[in-house]
Each structure stands twice: as structure tokens, then as C-alpha cells.
Amino acid sequence: MELSRHQLLSLYTTMVRIRLFEERVQDLYARGLIPGLAHLYVGQEAVAAGVCGQLEPQDYITSTHRGHGHVIAKGAELRYMMAELFGKKTGYCKGKGGSMHIADVSIGILGANGIAGGGIPIAVGAALSSKLRGTDQVTVCFFGDGSSNNGVFHEGLNLASVRRLPVVFVCENNFYGISVSQKQHQLIEDISVRSIAYGMPGVTVDGNDVVAVFQEAGKAIRRARAGEGPTLLECKTYRWRGHHEGDPNQGRRYRSMEEVQKWMERCPIKRLEQTLVAKRVASRKGLQEIWERVRGEMEAAVQYAQESPFPEAQDLYEDVYV
Amino acid sequence: MELSRHQLLSLYTTMVRIRLFEERVQDLYARGLIPGLAHLYVGQEAVAAGVCGQLEPQDYITSTHRGHGHVIAKGAELRYMMAELFGKKTGYCKGKGGSMHIADVSIGILGANGIAGGGIPIAVGAALSSKLRGTDQVTVCFFGDGSSNNGVFHEGLNLASVRRLPVVFVCENNFYGISVSQKQHQLIEDISVRSIAYGMPGVTVDGNDVVAVFQEAGKAIRRARAGEGPTLLECKTYRWRGHHEGDPNQGRRYRSMEEVQKWMERCPIKRLEQTLVAKRVASRKGLQEIWERVRGEMEAAVQYAQESPFPEAQDLYEDVYV
Amino acid sequence: MRELTYAQAINEALLQNMERDQRVFLMGEDIGKYGGIFQVTAGLLDRFGPDRVMDTPLSEAGFVGAAVGAAMTGMRPVVEVMFIDFTTVCMDMIVNQMAKIHYMFGGRGKVPMVLRTNIGAGRGAAAQHSQSFHAFFVHIPGLMVVTPSCPYDAKGLLNTAIQEENPVLFVEHKKLYATKGPVPEEFYTIPFGRAEIRRRGRDITIVATHEMVNRALRVAEDFSREGVELEIIDPRTLRPLDQETILDSVRKTGRLIVADEGTVTCGIQAEIAALAAEEAVQYLQAPVLRVGSPDTPVPFSPPLEQMYIPDEEDIRAAVERLRAYL
Amino acid sequence: MRELTYAQAINEALLQNMERDQRVFLMGEDIGKYGGIFQVTAGLLDRFGPDRVMDTPLSEAGFVGAAVGAAMTGMRPVVEVMFIDFTTVCMDMIVNQMAKIHYMFGGRGKVPMVLRTNIGAGRGAAAQHSQSFHAFFVHIPGLMVVTPSCPYDAKGLLNTAIQEENPVLFVEHKKLYATKGPVPEEFYTIPFGRAEIRRRGRDITIVATHEMVNRALRVAEDFSREGVELEIIDPRTLRPLDQETILDSVRKTGRLIVADEGTVTCGIQAEIAALAAEEAVQYLQAPVLRVGSPDTPVPFSPPLEQMYIPDEEDIRAAVERLRAYL
Ligand SMILES: Cc1ncc(C[n+]2csc(CCOP(=O)(O)OP(=O)(O)O)c2C)c(N)n1
Ligand SMILES: Cc1ncc(C[n+]2csc(CCOP(=O)(O)OP(=O)(O)O)c2C)c(N)n1
Ligand SMILES: [Mg+2]
Ligand SMILES: [Mg+2]
């Protein structure tokens, strides 16, 4: 199925928003303005954009420690995200969560998660809930190659499969769990083969090709929505930055710069750009305008974050219980 | 490869020892002489006998809550087992462990386990240890179909596979985890397909055919010993008794008596008996003598257990630390 | 009033909540056809069907985590973890997810779920099926921890737990399942954080949980005949804890014993003893004594297990020690 | 004497043990090429190769359980769990296997392994990477729990831990990794169960762990100038706990503050306060005060996190409160 102009530009814009958000965070982090840990999504934009491009506002996602891309693609507001990263009271979590815990249940974001794989059972539960409530909501569960070795992957996928739940498991295989390469952490090549263990369909897709991701995710999501059960969708991609900001030399301890370079040449945004221009969906200038507009949004988000107040002393004790 | 007369009779004897042990426990339990929980192995004898028949004394096993068969087949002494079930000081664990925790590291029994699946990582560690120590010991890890859904199954098999460890994972698929049928707890039919998720060979065998189990286990164990890595061996079988002694009507709440009946007709001991007699490996009378001899052993074991003292008060506080 | 067992009282609370509130559903291992290993959910599958009474695969982290996700999205799951010992295989879901989501997300999202489990030795089930480490959950901010000691409380507290907006650890006691007591047929709730004074007395305060309450009550009868009057307080919920009722009693008697079935070191006993030492030290006329399980794993052998379980003898010995200070 | 950081001291202990004892090997996530998230194992992969310094898949239950199996069969594994928060995903292996095997098997089999992990907030890592619930492990019989507060102790205690026949939870502290102190080059051990009196004083006893020791020492300087003398005791191991040293001090000063970075309710603070209330109540001249983290998850925002961490101010406030009783 061919994508419409609107769809293509929307995917493009989402990727640009993610890219520019992350580049901004990188810069702010380096200047000491953002505290804590920041795991950037640069290079993987096509996965979040392509998958979430198929979701409805009422659908759910669970995200990970590397979650900025997912939540942007699901519709989070940049200024609340940025304010959260700054630890400000106006942030999504009133500054209590930070980068690893951005959530907004009202728009279906059930939270990033600091526990690698921790979101998997939660996603299964959200899917169970929509099934019980009789809605047609779908849940998308993001996690990485490293996390596919966590026991909850196994328990979650099995549970979803026996109950035929409307959930799509999106494994972003960026070939590393921190410093441990996929070859070192599992003998299989395609993580999608693990679906066999649950009698579930499994698909591997080029995670740097946003159109391909969009199309495969669409199939899995429609399948889920139709009540036909879960799918495991593996998207092969790569992170350009170190595991987190502060990982020396973008991971030189465990990977070569040639490898990084090779993947940077497969930039998902550039790739879509070429298609768009070649197919005359957009002009270079039109695309440039998107970047400018998003830069403006980013500026506004940072300003919002910087001008926002920090939480006050008594906030520490609030929100422990409802 | 044809089995020798000695091998066949040895498998037979092991199965008889397990059967009579369990029948004895059943009786003692009913009479209130054995406290706690007893999960009997009746019906599954071919698995323990066939697999352990391939092991050397220095090899390791990890066992389960339904472990009497495994440890008998690995060479545990009946009287220490029986004494343990009685809670006597002369038992394998000085009465501290009971049915679910029989262990004798000196003969490679790394323990039954009350946590379903709990033995899996431990088995992986034993295999890692023998690899590091440069021995050719193999570890066999027993667990059930229900336990194959526990996250540690996933973590353990993956770890063993990336390190090519000398371990054989023996899944006894008796079609139930307590009351939950395999159909209810996983969508797959052959659990051996789960090996694909780890790039590991997987085999399914008729777990009521002791010769078939012996042969398949032999291949997997030789493969492990040769340094070629782990195997997942699924043995389909059935438990005749309830989940534990006390499960009303041998599980009538969740299974039909016809089903039980059908499986009792596939009794692994009778099956081997027919082969032995048909092939003239043994006469009915000769086999009868085995039963008698084992009955004698059982008598002695029970007597030993009954005459043994209970632990004393201060034993409570011992063995917490070495 | 009609009498029910503790197990039946819990069953009735589950049933009534499921009738009143479509969002309530159950998950757990063998809770359906089998009715739960302690028969607490018996009959509920037939009544409510397999969508509301779900037998799960053997995957505690999976289904407890699924309950978290379901609770966040509008349901009211009540999950059963067969023994508290098995909460260790889903501890991340309890400690890092269930307990923290509301805070971590700055109040966006809540986790109204109940995790039912049980503690207590005495069934010859040995070290991995008999523990009582509920104190750990009291150590984790974000959870509520409930410890019913009788059928009446079991039903009333579970009703409150299921209506609660926060995640609740509902800690049952194996030895109590078969005990009977009066239980109203109608729906009623018992507020969290209100201790019950089970017996009034002027000489020694015993704060006791679960079956320790009954054990203490029996001991109190004996001492009463000798003129020593014990005051017995059942906190009923350990988080929130009714500190005031406990402290008022300690200020009155000046003597405190804390009895809980957990191992003593770093247990609930320590928390309540510390509370007294912090808030009422000037009233203490005697050492604060702790009664609980010894610092060993739970042994299998019946005579050892009997010694292991803190019982009337242990309470009596503690009272005797404090008698010197009367 | 030569100075090392706390992280370097641990690194050196690992290195020396691996040189001395072929049975010692390391497992953990990113401990090889990466050198450990806190660089504690830096350089060891190069030195000892991938068979003795194993980067594992993301599978804590898998590799901690594997360490149990390896320890039972003749090896001496030292595993790293990146943050104590992640012990929740391998809690069964710690609580039900590692801690209980020796007892459950009646003394047949032992588990000589060390599980290294760390506690402490202060790095903006929020609620799932900053906890300090080591008290739970103290609650579990069968484990030993070690809490080094300086580089010297870190090396000496880890040497003891690796030689120990029992399973040891070696609980490091994030804030301490970069702190320096004198560390002998040679191999030395520090016995478990012996507290160190870090400062002598007649007025108030402060039992402090980890970084709370340093915080308490700084506060003590200030008070000393005002004539109030604090005695600061560092237990160094929480199980076994050197009760006598603590009690002797309490009997002398009559005033006790317990400071640990865990949340207060059901924490280590409660255990030590209860100990005093049980064994030295007649000497107590003031309330026993507990300093620790508040009963909330760890917040991310720096100003909240700073408030969250129990620091000099909190200790000072406690001392001020006790001053009224001098
Ligand atoms: C249970 C658990 N163990 C370890 C960690 C530490 N950790 C954080 S991210 C990570 C690697 C995750 O790899 P992957 O799932 O591939 O995600 P990626 O970082 O590549 O996006 C690890 C080990 C964690 N957060 N949770
Ligand atoms: C982690 C854990 N969860 C639940 C249980 C309770 N339980 C004991 S045996 C069992 C079923 C195990 O099924 P399976 O592995 O097929 O073994 P079988 O009993 O059929 O031999 C369950 C759920 C347990 N022991 N451990
Ligand atoms: Mg990855
Ligand atoms: Mg089974």
C-alpha cells in the first residue's frame, strides 16, 4: 500500500522532531543543564515514527530507558518533556521521574521504564485491560535486543499469546545492550524467531526504513485490533551515540568508529528525504522548512523548561499515595 | 544403537525402584506418617531412568518439586531419602529439607527445588563450573512444562547457549502445571521448539518409552560432553497421581479419569517389560524377582527411616552458615 | 452472626466486589478450576467465567506486571501469588513498578490493584514455601500492607483494599485459613491505619499480627488469672500503621512486646520497637521484647518446625521476662 | 600510605583474589570491555580474559543463579548486579536459593559466592536506580551483608568476602566510589562482625553506615567545638552485626542515633534501635533517633533528590534534638 503525501510528511516530521530533540538534549547535557542519565535515540527514529504512526490517540505504548523517541512519536508535548528532563515542576512527572520515566497515561503513554524489559508485562496488562473493557485499543511495547534476554520477555510474550491479546512487541535490535554485542548476548541472528516459542507471528524489518516499519507495524497493529493476537516485530537499527551521554567516545570501548560511520550513512531521515525528493512529494526547500519549524518548537520547549520553577520542598512527600 | 541386556535391565530396575518408592510414599502419606508435601513421579519413570542412565557419577543434575525419580535414578540411597521424607535426622538433609529439597552434592545431586524452574540457572552454573574447571562433567536440568513458562527458563537457556555449556535441559511435559493444562498455559505443542530461540537443538521424544529417552538423552549428553553445547530435550509423559498427595481424586477438578486411564495404559514399565520378554532379555519370573528385591530394599528404607531419630532442638540453629 | 472461615470470608469479599464492580477481575496460578491452592477462590470461575477468573501460566512476573498495566488502564485486578516466597520471582514488578509508578510519574497514573499472598510455617512445606518476609514490603514506600488476623477483618480489609486507589499487599496467613469467626453477609469495609485493641490491660502491651493475635490472647487469659493484665493490639495494617494506638498503650503500660511471625532481625518487630524507643522512651519501664521466628530458614522436620514457629510459649516467656519489671 | 579510590580498592581486591585463587571468576553486565558501569572491574578483562571476566546477557536471574550453581560445584564466583534496584529481578536466586541451600540441604553443599551491588541516591538516576533497601537482605537468614564505608574497608572486607564459605551481599555505595583513602598494597582481610569505632565520644552514640559515617564525622567536628562529643560506630557488616560494640557505647552515652541511607521504616535503623530498646533500655536517657531516607521513592529532580538524601543537616538536627537530654 502506497503511503499518502500526508503520511510521508508526517513520518518525516516525527523523525525530525525526535532528532532535533535528542540533539538538543545532547547539547544541554554536555553543558550540565540536564542532570542524571540521558539515553539518546539518535539513529533509531524510523522505528518510533513508523510504529507510532499507525497508532490512534487512545492506543497505548510502553517505553524504555531510551524512550524520548517513542513518547514524541506518540504525541508527547516537547515542553513538558524538556521540563521533565530539567527536573522542573512543570514537567510530565513534576520533575520526579526524569528522562527514564516520562509518562502520560491520558495520551496512552504508560511510561518509560528504567528496568530493561520492565515495560513488557505492563504492556501485556494494558492489552488485557482493553480486551476486558471491550475497546479496540492496541498496545505497542518497545524494548531492545538486550532486553529480549530478560525473563519477562518470555513471560510477557507467552501470556499475551495464550490470551490472544492486542499487543505488538517491537524489539529494537540496535545490536548492543550497553557494551555487549548481540553476538555476545544471544546466538540467534533474528530476534523475531523467538516468536516461534509462543506460537506467535514474528517479522524482521529494516528499522532504518521508516516506510517499511510503518507498513509492517500497520499489519501487526491491524491484526491486533482485529482480535487476532500479538506479533513480535523486530526492527534492526543502530544507535549513533554512546549508551548514554557520558559513555566515552560514543562507545569506543566496545565498537569501532567504522561501524558507527557505516550506520550513520544509513540515516533514516536522509533515506526518507531522498525518496520524498525523488518522488516529488516534497522539495528540499519544503523539507528545510520542516526543520526550521521544529527548531522553533524546540527553542520554545527549552525556554519553557528553563523558565519553569523547580519543585518545592513539600513536593518530595507528595504523590507517594493517591 | 541397540541396548545391551545389562543396560535394559538396569533401566528397568531403576523404573521399578522409582515406582515402588512412590507407591510406598503414597501409602505412608495417606497414613499420616509422612508430613508436608509429596509430589509423586508415578507414570514418568522412563524420563528419569532413561536420562540418568546416561550419566556418570560425577555428572550433575538439578531436580524439581517432583524430584524423587530424578534423585533415585542419579543414585541416591533410598533409606536416606525415606528418612528425609520422615523428617529424620538421618535423612539427606538432616530432616531440614524434606521431599522438595533432597540433595547430595557428593553424587552430583544439586538439589530438588521448591521453586518451579528454580533449578535452571543453577544447572547452567554447574555446567559453567565444569567448563571452567576443565572437567568433562555434564549437567542435566529437569523441569516441567509449566516451568518452561518461567522467565528463568529463558534466561538460563540463553546463557547456556551463548557460552556453549555442557548442559542438557530435560523438559518433562506431563501436560499440566498443577491444574492448568498445557493448552491453557502455552500455545505451542512441542516445547522443544523453544530451543530455536537460543540457536540450540531441540528434540521431542516419547517420555514413556525408556529406550527412546535413553537414546535421545545419550546423544544430547555426548554432544554436551564433547563441548558442542546444550540441547533442549522434551519428554512427553504424564503423571498418574494428583499434583501432590491430597489433590482431590487425582486431579478430577481439572482432568478426566479417561485421560488418566489412557495414559496408565501406556505405563512405561509395562512397555519395557513387554519388550524385554518379547526379546527374551528376561523372563517374567526374572522380572518378578527384581520387584521382589526392590520391595525388600524399600522395606529396609522405611524401617531405617522409622527407627531413625528426629533432629534435636539445637539442630534448628545449625547449618544456617557454614 | 453467621460464621465463616477466613478463607471463605476472603472468597466472599472477592465475590461481592466482582458483583459490584465490573472492573474487578482475578489472576493467578490455579485459582480457576482448582479454586486456589488454599481454596480461597473456589467457585468463582463458575460464577464469573474465565475472563474474570484467569488461570495464568507459571509466570509471576508476567501476570503481576500485567496486573500493573491493567490497573493503570482502568481495571481493578486482584492477583494471587501462591506463597509469599514466590513474590521473589516478581519482585521487580512489585517494588520497582507497582509501588513507584504513581510517584515516579508525578501523580500521572495510579495502580489500584491488590496482590494477595500468604505467610506462615506449619505445613511441613520447608524453606521455600513457608516464609514470612512481609516486613520487606513495609520497607517499600508506595505500597500498603494489610495483615488480617480473623475472618471478620479479612473480609472488611479486603473490601477496603479492592476499593483503594493505591497498590495493596494483602498478606494472608496459612494457619488462619481454616479458622472460623462471625462475618456479616453484607458488604462492609474496615479503614486502613486503625489498629484494633483486642484486649485491654494495664501491665504489658503486646502488639501482635495475624495468628500471633490469637496466641497472645490465649496467653493473656492465663496471666490474667495470675493478676497480670496484657493489652493486645492488632495493627491490622502495617502500612499505614496506627502509631498512636500503639504509643498510647505503651505510654500507659510502660512495657512492650511485639509479636509477628517474621524472622526477628529487621522485621516488623524492630520497626515497632524502634517506634517506641523513639516516641515513648521515657515511658519504657522494661526492655522492649521481640517475638518472632528465629534467624534460620524454615526447617521441614515437624519437631523443628514446631520449634521454629513463634507460639504461646515464646510469648509467655517474653511476658515472664517483663514480669520482673512490674 | 598509597591512596586509592573506593572503586580502585575493590578492583584491587578482585585482582588479587583472582591471582591467588583460580576458582575466583567474575560475572555481570558490562563488566568486561566496559569495565563496569562504575569502572570497578576496569582492566580485569584484559588481565584475566573472557573466561574469568564474563559479560553476561541482560539476565540477572540467569547469571546470579548460575553463580549459585558454580559456587556449589567448586568455584568462587563474584557477580556484579549493576544497581541494588536490579536485585529485584533475581530475588528468588538470592533469597530462596543462595541464602537457603546450605540449610535446606542440611549442610550438604555450600554457596561460597559474593554478590556485589551498590546503593545510594544522588546521581539523578531516579526511583529505579537509586534505592538502598539492603535491610531486606539483613532480614534473610543465610546471607551475610557487608557495607564498606571507605577504600581501606572496601578492599579488606571484599577479601574476606571472597574467602568466606557463605554467600555474601557486598553492598557498595555510589557516592563513595570516587572517594580516596589509604589502602595497603598487600592482601589483607577484615573480619566480619567487628564494628569500627570511628570516633570516640562520651555524649551521643551514632551508629552510621557507608557515606553516613563521613557525614557523621563532619558533624561531630562541629559539635565537638561546642563541647558535645559524639561517638561514631561503623558496623562494617550488618550481618553479622557487632552488637556488643554498639551496646557498650549506648550503655556509656545513654543516647543513640542510627544513620543509614535506607528508608527509615523497617530499615537497619529500626533493627539497631530495637536492639538498644531490648538490651540497653535502662541506659537510654533520650529517644533513639533514626536518620535515613524519607518514606518516598527517590525523586529525580536535583533539589528534591538533595532533600531526599539523608545528610549532615539531618544528622545535625538529630543531635540537636538529643542535646536537650544531655
Ligand atoms: C533488569 C535490568 N538490568 C540491567 C539494566 C541496566 N541496563 C540499562 S540499559 C541496558 C541495556 C539494554 O539493552 P537494550 O535492551 O538492547 O536497549 P538499548 O540500550 O540498546 O536501547 C542495561 C543492561 C537495567 N536497566 N535493568
Ligand atoms: C515460581 C513458582 N511459582 C509457582 C509455584 C507453585 N507450583 C508448584 S509446582 C507448579 C506447577 C509446575 O508445573 P510443571 O513444571 O509442569 O511440573 P509438574 O508439577 O507437572 O511436574 C506450580 C505452579 C512454584 N513452586 N514456584
Ligand atoms: Mg540494544
Ligand atoms: Mg507439568
pLDDT in tens, chain C (326 residues): 899 999 999 999 999 999 999 999 999 999 999 999 999 999 999 999 999 999 999 999 999 999 999 999 999 999 999 999 999 999 999 999 999 999 999 999 999 999 999 999 999 999 999 999 999 999 999 999 999 999 999 999 999 999 999 999 999 999 999 999 999 999 999 999 999 999 999 999 999 999 999 999 999 999 999 999 999 999 999 999 999 999 999 999 999 999 999 999 999 999 999 999 999 999 999 999 999 999 999 999 999 999 999 999 999 999 999 999 99
Mean pLDDT of D210-217: 98
CB-CB contact of C79 with C63 (8 Å): yes
Strand pairing class (D196-199; D230-234): antiparallel
Contact C59 CB / ligand 2 (< 6 Å): no
Cis peptide before C240 (omega within 30 of 0): yes
Within 10 angstroms of residue B1's Cβ, the number of other Cβ atoms is 8
Task: Tell me whether C63 touches chain B (CB under 8 Å).
Answer: no
D197 by DSSP, 3-state: which? Answer: strand
Q: Which residues of chain D does C128 touch, with a Cβ-Cβ cutoff of 8 Å?
A: 96, 100, 104
A86-122 residue pLDDT tens: 999 999 999 999 999 999 999 999 999 999 999 999 9
Between positions 92 and 111 of D, the ones with CB within 8 A of C are 92, 94-96, 99-100, 103-104
Query: What is the pLDDT at residue B51?
Result: 98
- What is the β-pairing status of strands B139-144 and B60-62? parallel
CA of D306 to the centre of ligand 1 (A): 26
Q: Do B118 and D65 touch (CB under 8 A)?
A: yes
CB B120 within 8 A of CB B62: yes
Q: Which positions of D are annotated as active-site residues? A: 60, 129
3-state secondary structure of D5: strand
Nearest CB among B96, B122, B132 relative to D104 is that of B96
Sequence letter at residue C118 = N
Determine the distance from the C-alpha atom of residue C37 to the mean position of all C-alpha atoms in its chain, rounded to a whole number: 18
Rounded alpha-carbon distances, angstroms, from residue A271 to A234, B181, D224:
20, 49, 69
pLDDT, tens digit (0-9, with 9 covering 90-100), for A149-205? 999 999 999 999 999 999 999 999 999 999 999 999 999 999 999 999 999 999 999
> Interface partners of D (3+ CB pairs, < 8 Å)?
A, B, C
pLDDT one-digit tens code per residue, D147-159:
999 999 999 999 9
Q: Are C42 and C60 in contact (CB under 8 A)?
A: no
Residue of B292, B245, B268 lying closest to B43 (CA atoms): B268
Q: What single-letter DSSP state applies at residue A109?
A: B
Contacts of A222 (CB under 8 A, 6+ apart): none
Side by side, the strands of the sheet bearing C114-119 are C53-55, C24-28, C76-80, C114-119, C168-173, C144-146, C237-239
With CA atoms as reference, the chain C residue closest to B250 would be C34
Asked whether the predicted pLDDT for residue B1 surpasses 80, the reply is no
Please give the mean pLDDT across all residues of chain B.
Answer: 97
**Mean local confidence (pLDDT), D250-259:** 98
Full 3-state SS string of chain B: CCCCHHHHHHHHHHHHHHHHHHHHHHHHHHCCCCCCCCCCCCCCHHHHHHHHCCCCCCCEEECCCCCHHHHHHCCCCHHHHHHHHCCCCCCCCCCCCCHHHCCEHHHCECCCCCCCCCHHHHHHHHHHHHHHHCCCCCEEEEEECHHHHCHHHHHHHHHHHHCCCCEEEEEEECCEECCEEHHHHCCCCCHHHHHHHHCCCEEEEECCCHHHHHHHHHHHHHHHHCCCCCEEEEEECCCCCCCCCCCHHHCCCCCCHHHHHHHHCCCHHHHHHHHHHHCCCCCHHHHHHHHHHHHHHHHHHHHHHHHCCCCCHHHHHCCCCC
Residue of B nearest to D28 (CA): B159
Rounded to the nearest angstrom, the distance between the alpha carbon of A176 and the centre of ligand 3 is 4
Instruction: Single out the residue of C167, C170, C23, D128 nearest to residue A321, CA to CA.
Output: C167
Question: Which amino acid appears at position D116 of this protein?
Answer: R
A5 pLDDT more than 80: yes
Q: CB of B187 within 8 A of CB of A199?
A: yes
The residues pairing with C196 across neighbouring beta strands, listed in sequence order, are C234
Residue owning grid cell 506463597: C83
Predicted-complex ipTM score: 0.98
Q: Are strands D3-5 and D180-182 parallel, antiparallel or unpaired?
A: antiparallel
Per-residue confidence (pLDDT) for residue B58, from 0 to 100:
98
The confidence score (pLDDT) of residue B17 equals 98
Spacing of C-alpha A265 from chain mean position: 21
Do C108 and A105 contact (CB within 8 A), yes or no? yes
Residues from chain C that touch B149, judged by Cβ atoms under 8 A, are 57-59, 62
Residue C62: which of A93, A110, A155 has the nearest Cβ?
A155
Q: What is the pLDDT of residue A1?
A: 72
Verify whether the Cβ–Cβ distance C303 to B311 is below 8 Å.
yes
Protein residues near ligand 3, an ion, with CB under 5 A: A 144-146, 174, 176
Q: Which of B89, B98, B185 sits opposite C126 (nearest CB)?
A: B98
C-alpha cell, C209: 499480627
Whether residue C125 lies within 8 A of chain D, CB to CB, comes out as: no
Residue C115's contacts (CB-CB under 8 Å, 6 or more residues apart) are: C64, C67, C79, C81, C87, C94, C98, C167, C168, C169, C170
Our answer on whether the CB atom of B177 is closer than 6 Å to any ligand 2 atom is yes
Interchain contact, C139 vs D126, CB within 8 Å:
no
B234 Cβ contact partners less than 8 Å away, ≥ 6 residues apart: B171, B173, B190, B191, B192, B202, B203, B204, B205, B207
Contact predicate D71/D113, CB 8 Å = yes
String of b and e for A211-233 (b: at least 16 CB within 10 Å)?
A: bebbbbbbbbbebbbeeebbbbb
Does residue D15 have its Cβ closer than 6 Å to ligand 1? no
pLDDT attached to residue D1: 87
Ligand 1, residue A144: give the atom nearest the CA.
Answer: 15
Angle in degrees, CA D310, D311, D313, rounded to 5: 115
C320-to-C57, C222, C226 alpha-carbon distances in Å: 50, 12, 12
pLDDT digits (tens, 9 = 90+) for D61-118: 999 999 999 999 999 999 999 999 999 999 999 999 999 999 999 999 999 999 999 9
Residue range D263-299, pLDDT digits in tens: 999 999 999 999 999 999 999 999 999 999 999 999 9
Which three cell numbers mark A255?
565498537
The set of catalytic residues of C is: 60, 129
Helix, strand, coil percentages (3-state) for chain A, rounded to 5, are 50, 10, 40
Mean per-residue pLDDT over chain A, rounded: 97
The three cell numbers of residue D154 are 572496601
Q: Which one of B243, B244, B254, B260 would you pick to mutate in the ligand 2 pocket, going by the greatest count of ligand atoms within 8 A of its CB?
A: B243
Contacts of B314 (CB under 8 A, 6+ apart): none
Contacts of A318 in chain C (CB under 8 A): 107
Query: The cell 480489609 sits on which residue?
Result: C157
A116 ligand 1 Cβ < 6 A: yes
Model pLDDT, residue A78 = 98
Which pLDDT does position C1 carry in this prediction? 87
Q: Could you tell me the distance, in angstroms and rounded to a whole number, from the CA of residue C58 to the centre of ligand 2?
A: 7
| Residues from chain C contacting residue B191 (CB–CB below 8 Å) | none
State pLDDT tens for residues A300-316: 999 999 999 999 999 99
- Find the DSSP H helices in C209-297: 210-225, 243-253, 268-279
Kindly tell me the burial class for residue B10, based on how many C-beta atoms sit within 10 Å of its own C-beta (0-12, 13-18, 19 or more): middle
Query: Is the CB of B176 inside a 6 Å radius of any atom of ligand 2?
Result: yes
Atom of ligand 2 nearest to the CA of B44: 21
Beta bridge pairs of residue C259: C208, C291
**Is some CB atom of chain D closer than 8 A to the CB atom of C289?**
yes
Query: Does position A281 have pLDDT exceeding 90, yes or no?
Result: yes
pLDDT tens per residue across span B209-245? 999 999 999 999 999 999 999 999 999 999 999 999 9
Do the beta carbons of residue D169 and residue D134 sit within 8 Å?
yes
Alpha-carbon span D114 to D126, nearest angstrom: 26
In D, minimum Cα distance to A115 occurs at D128
CB D56 within 8 A of CB A148: no
Task: Name the closest residue on chain C to residue D299, using Cα atoms.
Answer: C104
**Is residue D322's pLDDT more than 90?**
yes
Measured in angstroms, how far is the CA atom of residue D35 from the centroid of ligand 1? 16
| Ligand number, closest to the Cα atom of B149 | 2
**DSSP secondary structure letter of residue A314:** G
Residue C258 CA, chain-centre distance (Å), reads: 15
Task: Provide the pLDDT for residue D144.
Answer: 98
Share of chain D above pLDDT 70, in %: 100
What separation in Å is there between the alpha carbon of B2 and the centre of ligand 4?
Answer: 30
Decide: D233 and D197 in contact? Cβ < 8 Å.
yes
Determine the residue of chain D that is closest to B318 in CA distance.
D103
> Please, are residues D230 and D223 in contact by the beta-carbon 8 Å criterion?
yes
Choose among B306, B318, B287, B298: nearest CA to B24: B298
Closest-CA distance of chain D to residue C274, Å = 5
Q: Which chain B residues are closer than 8 Å to C125 by Cβ?
A: 36-37, 98, 100, 114
